[in-house]
């Protein structure tokens, strides 16, 4: 019978050490190659664009001239999306970090994460083919909603103060995010039921005709407002998640101190928690802006793809991402259009990369600050 | 008055104030939008397969119509108008009718109204007059033909069709392959002729019969029976029958290919293309993502450079997908694909083989796009493993590689799985980069078949997300395609939600199993 080699025999341990060195080397090599491949994207875009622009064969003036409306459209779409999503996302983050119970919050986060997982093409389809015609027919109702929803929520708050304590406990503020949903649905229906009457009262007839006649505003069916709402919907979850992390990461001692001195939860938030978490919230908004700038399918399907340069919410636009996806497959490599689209891609890359880096730096500083303030998150 | 007494004279606030309510309202609004969207897609997507009732209308000007109500809109002065789907494209030239509600004199739901799904000209809505043979069509006959006769003939045709398909699959194709291998095989040649004769006889038997149909306004139509795919009388069906028909409709949607310029039929090729592409992608992304994460977390010197690389990789997850598409087009399709064509497929140039978008390039591009997701998730998993585990293994004499493969990696498996599942969920929903690197509106050939090398990486493929975009925005009749777009969207969302829920569950399981130990 052959003796099994002793586990610590010199030859075996040498072999193990060599194997260890070899495997580690291979992992390092593979890892470096993968990381380089991922980072190659930026290098590739620069290599495609810079020589063509500096080489002098192309009319750079024309390239920039055709890029400007697309850059404008990108920023406009992102602006309207942020106008819609930032208040909603920050409000939701504040509510769930300050008012919700731990249990409810742990259910809420995955739900909104699912919202982020909805593919852009589905949101774009609903926005472009369902919401755009609907809003065009019910423009007055949609604008009424903007007014009616906040007022309705405040009304609910006012009514709540008059309730008996038992009712108040049942419909508590910490669960308001849930029981307000049917109330809001009711408000939406009320807005659309009221709007024809309001329209007759205020603008005698059709709001769209009135806008065209009195204000000279041309209403396009697929416009910046639709894009703003649809893309805002897609951006809300990412802003929410990051802002919520920043708010609930604030060391508990700060908030508890404020509570002990008699501040309400909202005062605590406004005077203590929000200033502490401000950089994190800034980072969340930046990352949201990065997503809004790069989102392709929603803009493509809901914007009408018209290269206009205006800030009006009722007119369409064309964004860089949508332009790339429509035109690049047909552009001949090396041609003016190709270089222009590559430049657009490079701009998108640089913008999102810089914005994300900035946000990441801010967040890591914030984490250090929280640790310094005492309790680690 | 001092500041203190000023403060004391104010009443202490008893409620949180208006802003707290507005914050609660924004949570409610987000939930309402999410719920509304999902509900809309689910109702419209699933409702399409329900065999809805058909109404027969009489109008003020004496016209008669039969069709399904699609929707109703208000006109000026309190009027309303309805959109009816009346089918019969071959008789009317159009399938939609907008009618003012006040113009409708009478509307009823006769039980004998028939809906046919046909291979050409879309659906037919009307009455059955007679089922007869093609040689003696008797258009003057007025007797109401037996519905059962039609069903019997259709069942007979279906049997003939499946017999023909069986013959083709089981006898014809092997014989042709045999002859391809040895063209002088006389025996096979004779057998082939005999089988061909039988197939031809079956084809002929199928063509014999016609149905004579009558539209609601009395126009007659002779319809060959072999062009009819299905027939049903929605007004005479019970709820149970409708449920069965609904389930069959859902199944056909999942298992058949598109017809009529993507406005009818199913999405099987798109499901197949999406799944295949995502599978290839996860085969690529899983090992490389884990490799990079292990390198960054376990092997590399934890210095400033590694931290910089780590932040960059994290940020690449935020770079728009379209930029990855541009990279895929420039590097994979034009660069690598163009060179491959020059080296190996030069006899087929100038028509490109790999130099155009295809399955391989799409999977590679999406793999690159989802690499950061896998790297970040795996790194998080690695960072969470208690340092005592590593120290314990090393103290017992294990080398670094052994510690890695026997202790650390097995503990990280759930984190890796989470990363890969999240990557798959992201890739399944991405459309923009695919439009640059290889998706097709209608791909006649599925990328997998019995021909060597079985998996055709250079072929274009269909994709659920792109199918939605294309059908909704580039179809001829968007109104007709809309229900199928809803159904496709529902399918896509369903797949992605299931994947995400799995990832969330895995993460939760993982967190509760090993305590959370953040990186110091």
Instruction: Specify the 3-state DSSP secondary structure of B439.
Output: strand
Output b/e per residue, B58-82; b: 16+ Cβ within 10 A.
Answer: bbeeeeebbbbbbeeeeeeeeeeeb
How many angstroms separate the CA atoms of A130 and A122, rounded?
Answer: 11
pLDDT at residue number A368: 83
Residue B505 domain-assigned (yes or no): yes
pLDDT at residue number B29: 92
> What is the Rg, in whole angstroms, of the alpha carbon atoms belonging to chain B?
32
**B245 & B297 share domain:** no
pLDDT at residue number B41: 93
| CATH assignment, A60-136+216-372 | 1.10.3720.10
Percent of chain A with pLDDT over 90: 16
| C-alpha dist (Å) from residue B370 to B321, B327, B366 | 10, 14, 6
pLDDT in tens, A303-356: 877 767 777 777 778 888 888 888 888 888 878 888 888 889 999 999 998 898
Phi, psi of B125 (to 5 degrees): -125, 125
Instruction: Specify the 3-state DSSP secondary structure of B261.
Output: coil
How many angstroms separate the CA atoms of A300 and B369, rounded?
Answer: 20
Check CB contact under 8 Å for A321 and B322: yes
A205 touches chain B (CB under 8 A): no
Asked whether B414 and B381 are in contact (CB, 8 A), the reply is: yes
Asked whether A233 and A241 are in contact (CB, 8 A), the reply is: no
A231 touches chain B (CB under 8 A): no
Q: Which domain holds residue B188?
A: 128-249
B27 touches chain A (CB under 8 A): yes
**B333 & B213 share domain:** no
Instruction: Give the mean pLDDT of A126-136.
Output: 88
pLDDT-derived band at A125 (thresholds 50, 70, 90) equals very high
pLDDT at residue number B316: 84
Instruction: Give the mean pLDDT of A47-64.
Output: 79
pLDDT-derived band at A276 (thresholds 50, 70, 90) equals confident
Residue B7 domain-assigned (yes or no): no
How many angstroms separate the CA atoms of A247 and A269, rounded?
Answer: 9
**B209 & B335 share domain:** no
Domain ranges of chain A: 6-57, 60-136+216-372
Residue B436 domain-assigned (yes or no): yes
Residue B56 domain-assigned (yes or no): no
pLDDT in tens, A163-188: 888 888 888 888 888 888 999 999 99
**B272 & B245 share domain:** no
**B361 & B483 share domain:** yes
Check CB contact under 8 Å for A121 and B469: yes
Nearest in space to A38 (alpha carbons), one of B339, B365, B301, B426: B365
**Following DSSP, what letter does each residue of A69-110 receive, concatenated?**
HHHHHHHHHHHHHHHHHHHHHHHHHHHHHHTS-HHHHHHHHH
Check CB contact under 8 Å for A321 and B320: yes
How many angstroms separate the CA atoms of A236 and A232, rounded?
Answer: 6
Chain A residues lying within 8 Å of B357, measured CB to CB: 329
Chain A residues lying within 8 Å of B312, measured CB to CB: 39, 353, 357
pLDDT at residue number B11: 47
Contacts of B95 (CB under 8 A, 6+ apart): B85, B86, B87, B88, B89, B122, B123, B477, B480
pLDDT in tens, B136-179: 555 555 445 577 778 888 888 888 888 888 888 888 877 887 78
Residue B260 domain-assigned (yes or no): no
**B487 & B379 share domain:** yes
pLDDT at residue number B132: 73
Query: Residue A155: pLDDT above 60?
Result: yes
**Taking CA A371 as the corner, what is the angle to CA A367 and CA A375, rounded to the nearest 5 degrees?**
125
pLDDT at residue number B450: 64
pLDDT at residue number A5: 53
Instruction: Specify the 3-state DSSP secondary structure of A267.
Output: helix
A51 touches chain B (CB under 8 A): no
Residue B351 domain-assigned (yes or no): yes
How many angstroms separate the CA atoms of A153 and A160, rounded?
Answer: 11
**B244 & B274 share domain:** no
Check CB contact under 8 Å for B299 and A35: no
pLDDT at residue number A265: 85
How many angstroms separate the CA atoms of A39 and A325, rounded?
Answer: 22
**B275 & B366 share domain:** yes
**Cα(first)–Cα(last) distance of chain B, in Å?**
53
Residue in A closest to B17 by C-alpha:
A266
Q: Could you write out the three-class secondary structure of B184-220?
A: CCHHHHHHHHHHHHHHHHHHHHHHCEEEEEECCCCCE
> Tokens standing for A82?
């942020």
pLDDT at residue number B349: 66
> Tokens standing for A73?
């459209």
Nearest in space to B440 (alpha carbons), one of B417, B469, B418: B469
Task: Give the A:B interface size as CB pairs under 8 Å.
Answer: 318
Residue B308 domain-assigned (yes or no): yes
**B245 & B274 share domain:** no
**B228 & B360 share domain:** no
Query: Residue A261: pLDDT above 80?
Result: yes
Chain A residues lying within 8 Å of B318, measured CB to CB: 287, 290-291, 352-353, 355-356
A2 touches chain B (CB under 8 A): no
Asked whether B97 and B65 are in contact (CB, 8 A), the reply is: yes
How many angstroms separate the CA atoms of A100 and A175, rounded?
Answer: 7
Instruction: Give the mean pLDDT of A88-94.
Output: 93
Check CB contact under 8 Å for B497 and A117: yes
How many angstroms separate the CA atoms of B312 and A242, rounded?
Answer: 18
Q: What is the pLDDT along chain B (520 residues), one digit of tens a residue?
A: 445 545 444 444 456 778 888 999 999 999 999 999 999 999 999 988 888 888 888 888 888 888 888 888 777 677 788 888 888 888 887 888 888 888 888 888 888 888 888 887 888 888 887 777 665 555 555 445 577 778 888 888 888 888 888 888 888 877 887 787 777 778 888 888 888 888 888 888 777 778 888 888 888 888 888 888 888 888 888 889 889 999 998 998 888 888 776 777 788 888 888 888 888 998 999 999 998 899 888 888 888 888 888 888 888 888 899 999 999 998 888 888 888 877 877 776 667 777 777 888 899 999 999 999 999 989 988 888 888 888 999 899 888 888 888 888 888 888 888 888 888 888 888 889 998 887 777 766 667 766 666 777 777 888 899 989 888 888 777 788 888 899 999 999 998 888 888 887 877 776 666 554 444 3
Higher pLDDT, A156 or B173: A156
**Taking CA A262 as the corner, what is the angle to CA A282 and CA A248, rounded to the nearest 5 degrees?**
30
**B313 & B455 share domain:** yes
| C-alpha dist (Å) from residue A226 to A221, A267, A303, A356 | 9, 35, 8, 26
Of B37, B313, B323, which is closest to A345 when you measure between CB atoms?
Answer: B323
Give the ipTM of the model, two decimals please: 0.88
Check CB contact under 8 Å for B32 and A119: no
Give the neighbor-by-neighbor strand order of the sheet with B55-59: B96-100, B80-85, B64-74, B55-59, B104-108
Residue B10 domain-assigned (yes or no): no
Number of domains in chain B: 2
């Amino acid at each position: 019978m052959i003796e099994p080699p002793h586990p610590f025999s010199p030859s075996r341990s040498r072999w193990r050490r060599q194997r260890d060195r070899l495997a580690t080397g291979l992992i390092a090599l593979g890892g470096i190659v993968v990381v380089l491949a991922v980072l190659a994207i930026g290098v590739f875009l620069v290599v495609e664009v810079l020589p063509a622009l500096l080489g002098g064969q192309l009319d750079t003036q024309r390239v920039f001239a055709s890029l400007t409306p697309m850059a404008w459209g990108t920023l406009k779409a992102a602006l309207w999306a942020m106008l819609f999503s930032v208040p909603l996302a920050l409000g939701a983050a504040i509510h769930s970090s300050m008012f919700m119970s731990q249990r409810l919050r742990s259910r809420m986060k995955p739900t909104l994460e699912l919202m982020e997982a909805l593919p852009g093409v589905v949101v774009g389809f609903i926005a472009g083919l369902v919401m755009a015609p609907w809003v065009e027919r019910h423009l007055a109702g949609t604008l009424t909603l903007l007014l009616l929803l906040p007022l309705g929520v405040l009304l609910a708050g006012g009514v709540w103060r008059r309730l008996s304590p038992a009712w108040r406990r049942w419909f508590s503020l910490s669960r308001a995010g849930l029981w307000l949903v049917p109330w809001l649905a009711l408000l939406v229906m009320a807005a659309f039921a009221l709007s024809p009457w309001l329209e007759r009262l205020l603008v005698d007839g059709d709001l769209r005709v009135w806008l065209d006649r009195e204000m000279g505003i041309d209403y396009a069916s697929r416009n910046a407002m639709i894009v703003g709402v649809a893309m805002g919907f897609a951006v809300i979850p990412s802003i929410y998640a990051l802002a919520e992390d920043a708010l609930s990461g604030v060391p508990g001692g700060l908030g508890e101190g404020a509570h002990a001195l008699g501040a309400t939860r909202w005062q605590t938030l406004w005077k203590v928690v929000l200033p502490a978490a401000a950089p994190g919230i800034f980072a969340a908004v930046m990352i949201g802006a990065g997503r809004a700038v790069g989102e392709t399918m929603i803009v493509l399907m809901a914007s009408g793809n018209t290269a206009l340069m205006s800030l009006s919410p009722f007119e369409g636009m064309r964004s860089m991402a949508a332009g790339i996806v429509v035109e690049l497959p047909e552009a001949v490599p090396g041609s003016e259009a190709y270089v222009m689209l590559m430049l657009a891609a490079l701009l998108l890359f640089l913008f999102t990369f810089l914005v994300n880096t900035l946000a990441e730096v801010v967040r890591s500083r914030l984490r250090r600050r929280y640790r310094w303030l005492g309790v680690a998150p | 008055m001092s500041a203190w007494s000023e403060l004391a004279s104010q009443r202490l606030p008893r409620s949180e104030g208006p802003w707290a309510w507005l914050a609660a309202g924004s949570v409610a609004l987000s939930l309402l939008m999410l719920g509304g969207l999902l509900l809309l897609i689910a109702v419209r997507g699933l409702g399409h397969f329900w065999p809805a009732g058909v109404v027969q209308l009489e109008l003020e000007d004496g016209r008669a119509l039969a069709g399904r109500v699609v929707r109703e809109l208000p006109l000026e002065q309190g009027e309303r108008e309805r959109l009816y789907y009346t089918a019969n494209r071959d008789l009317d030239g159009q399938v939609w009718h907008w009618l003012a509600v006040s113009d409708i004199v009478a509307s009823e739901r006769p039980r004998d109204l028939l809906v046919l799904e046909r291979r050409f000209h879309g659906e037919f809505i009307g009455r059955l007059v007679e089922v007869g043979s093609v040689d003696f069509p008797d258009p003057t006959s007025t007797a109401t033909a037996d519905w059962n006769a039609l069903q019997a003939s259709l069942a007979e045709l279906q049997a003939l069709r499946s017999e023909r398909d069986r013959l083709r699959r089981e006898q014809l194709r092997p014989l042709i392959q045999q002859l391809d291998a040895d063209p002088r095989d006389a025996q096979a040649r004779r057998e082939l002729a005999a089988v061909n004769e039988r197939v031809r006889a079956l084809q002929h038997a199928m063509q014999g019969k016609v149905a004579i149909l009558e539209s609601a306004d009395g126009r007659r139509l002779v319809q060959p029976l072999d062009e009819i795919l299905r027939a049903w009388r929605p007004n005479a069906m019970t709820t149970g029958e409708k449920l069965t028909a609904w389930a069959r409709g859902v199944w056909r949607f999942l298992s058949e290919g598109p017809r009529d310029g993507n406005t009818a039929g199913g999405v099987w090729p798109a499901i197949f293309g999406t799944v295949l592409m995502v599978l290839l992608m996860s085969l690529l992304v899983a090992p490389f993502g884990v490799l990079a994460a292990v390198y960054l977390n376990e092997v590399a010197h934890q210095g400033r450079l590694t931290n910089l690389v780590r932040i960059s990789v994290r940020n690449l997850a935020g770079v728009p997908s379209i930029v990855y598409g541009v990279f895929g087009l420039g590097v994979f399709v034009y660069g690598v694909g163009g060179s491959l064509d020059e080296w190996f497929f030069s006899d087929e140039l100038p028509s490109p083989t790999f130099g155009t978008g295809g399955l391989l390039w799409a999977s590679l591009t999406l793999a690159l796009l989802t690499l950061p997701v896998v790297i970040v998730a795996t790194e998080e998993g690695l960072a969470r493993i208690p340092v005592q585990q590593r120290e314990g293994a090393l103290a017992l004499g294990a080398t670094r590689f052994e510690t890695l493969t026997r202790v650390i990696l097995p503990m990280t498996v759930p984190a890796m799985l989470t990363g890969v599942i999240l990557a798959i969920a992201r890739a399944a929903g991405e459309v923009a980069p695919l439009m640059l690197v290889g998706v097709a509106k209608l791909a006649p050939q599925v990328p997998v078949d019995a021909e060597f090398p079985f998996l055709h990486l250079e072929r274009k493929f269909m994709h659920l997300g792109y199918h939605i975009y294309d059908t909704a925005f580039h179809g001829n009749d968007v109104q007709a395609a809309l229900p199928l777009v809803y159904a496709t969207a529902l399918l896509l969302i369903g797949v992605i939600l299931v994947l995400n829920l799995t990832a969330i569950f895995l993460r939760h399981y993982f967190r509760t199993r090993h305590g959370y130990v953040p990186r110091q």
